[in-house]
Chain A
Amino acid sequence: MTEETDNGIGGVHIKYLLHCPRQLWLYSRGYRPEQNNSSVAFGEALDATTYTRRRDIDLGEAKIDWVTTGAVVHETKSSRTPSPQHEAQVRHYCLLLARLGVNIARGVVHYPLVRRTTEVAWDAFARAEAEKTEQAAKDVIAADQPAPRLPRSRCRGCSYRDYCWGDL
């Protein structure tokens, strides 16, 4: 899990934006029920027990899992299937590091449960993509009202489900 302060866009922001803008809006307003979510706890446990020789890199607004020589950004995921959200999160970390003057080579997403990795390219196109996503996240956060709920079926496993669907 990444952790961040309120002054920037971190990895969680990007992940939530791509899943559900409403979730990002609520998260940015300080309602964060995910600490009671068992799948989040599972992800944290997985992060703590895999690749333990590597060290986190704390950027303040984001916490990168680890970076290897040649500036390859690594990220561990407890999922079994690659998803565009994961890649976008890594691209965002690349963007943050690139702004600090690091010459990024590429990103890698690790899926230790299925022992697979996915490569994330870092070039001008990827950078434009990352900046676009960051701007979208900022727009969502700046809105007065949250986005409407997603269709019911896409809320499965979301820790905000009780909040969004709990009124009768």
Chain B
Amino acid sequence: MTAAARTYWLTEPCRIRREDNSIRIERPDQTPIRIPITDIRDLVAFDHVDVNTSVVSLLNRHDITVHLLDHYGNYAGSFTPHEGMSSALALRRQVEVTSDTHLRLTAARDIVATTAANVKWALDTDLLDAPLKRLTEDLPTAGDSNALMGIEGNFRRSSWEVLDTMLPPWLRLNGRTRRPPSNAGNAFISYVNTIVYARMLTALRCTPLHPAIGFLHADTDRRRNTLALDLAEPFKPLFAERLLRRAAAQKTLRQSDFESDVARASLSKGGRKKVAEMLRAELASTVYHRSLKRKVSYEELIHLEALKIVRLCLEGTSYKPFRPWW
């Protein structure tokens, strides 16, 4: 993980310009902000951003990804630099590992089981014990990834219901909906999940792996990168569910932070900023890692997860998805 560089979150409409060999960000109201190019790992754009070719070539030279989110917080795409980290050998191994049905399904099963355990951990409740037990019983019988996703879906439905009991009425999900999310709670979850996906994509870009060759999700899932979707899965409860509960308990979010319409909702400009702020703080919070013998941030945990797949591909060690140990 980069020692100095960090993620910049562009929560307001702005124009990115190149100034000599560095970056200047112009916002409508304030004086421009200058960022040293070596200080940027990636940019997350929450709002309209203007770029031109000179900026793009500079970002490309420094391997900086720009993630773009649309108005509803869906992942809209990203500008990614050329793959300077790619290695034919690692990629070939990745293809071998994922095309072996047994290996792929084992990893996929682990991902589903771990995600469910993480959801229970994030919600911190006994109400999910029964669905979790049913999930662990069903998993060995699932023969392909569709069946696995179905089992996961069943569990998730009960988990959303449990989550609803912890939220104030206006923030309740009442069934998970996406594209577009139907109410405030759904809008929040979609937004956070998108960002976790983008973080995973950035982490994968720092490894020789290809982010589209994965285990669990369909290969052409909304044209998104399968491996990034897979690996982001265990991390989503850590951020989405937990932050939603916390925001409700601490009353950080208000109804005015969402733009609600009939059957669709999205975060308002102020709400987007608040969520970005919460996420940044959360990604920067640290836990002690026993074998690295130092504190690692949640952001680095995502990076370590990507490295596990590199290890699986190069050395053939088994892949154990992330579980919170604290």
Contact = CB atoms under 8 A, between A and B. Distances in A.
A168 B63 CA distance: 29
A30 B292 contact: no
Contact of A168 (B2, B290, B303): B290
Interface string A24-39: 0010011111011110
B33 to A, nearest CB: 23
B38 A29 contact: no
For the complex, would chain B's binding face be called helix, strand, loop or mixed by DSSP majority? loop
B320 interface: yes
A125 interface: no
A31 B303 CA distance: 14
A145 B311 CA distance: 11
A1 to B, nearest CB: 14
Interface in B285-303: 289-293, 300, 303
Nearest to B305: A166
Interface stretch (B85-93, B129-137, B224-232): B85-93
Contacts of A35: 63, 84-85
Contacts of A163: 307, 310-311
B314 interface: yes
Given A33-B206, A36-B5, A38-B4, A167 B320 contact: yes
Contacts of B63: 35
Nearest to B84: A35
Interface in B189-226: 206-208
A166 B308 contact: yes
Interface in B273-326: 289-293, 300, 303-304, 307-308, 310-311, 314-315, 317, 320, 325
B292 A161 contact: yes
A30 B311 contact: no
A41 interface: yes
Contacts of B208: 30-32
B142 interface: no
Nearest to B304: A166
Contacts of A162: 1, 292, 300, 303-304, 307
Contacts of B320: 167-168
A31 B93 CA distance: 13
Interface string B246-273: 0000000000000000000000000000
A166 B292 contact: yes
A8 interface: no
Contact of A166 (B85, B87, B89, B307): B307
Nearest to A26: B314
A168 B38 CA distance: 31
A61 to B, nearest CB: 17
A166 B291 contact: yes
A163 B304 CA distance: 7
Nearest to B41: A36
Q: Which of A32, A33, A145 has the most CB of B within 10 A?
A: A33
A12 B63 CA distance: 22
A99 interface: no
Given A36-B5, A38-B4, A41-B38, A29 B307 contact: no
Of all A-B residue pairs in the complex, the 7 with the closest CB atoms, nearest first, are A30-B87, A38-B3, A36-B2, A166-B304, A30-B90, A30-B208, A163-B307
Interface of A: 26, 29-33, 35-38, 41, 145-146, 152, 161-163, 165-168
13 contacts: A30-B87, A31-B208, A32-B208, A36-B1, A36-B2, A36-B3, A37-B3, A165-B293, A166-B304, A166-B307, A166-B308, A167-B308, A167-B320
Given A30-B208, A31-B310, A35-B84, 20 more contacts: A26-B314, A29-B89, A29-B314, A30-B86, A30-B87, A30-B88, A30-B89, A35-B85, A36-B2, A36-B5, A41-B38, A146-B314, A162-B1, A162-B292, A162-B304, A166-B291, A167-B291, A168-B289, A168-B290, A168-B325
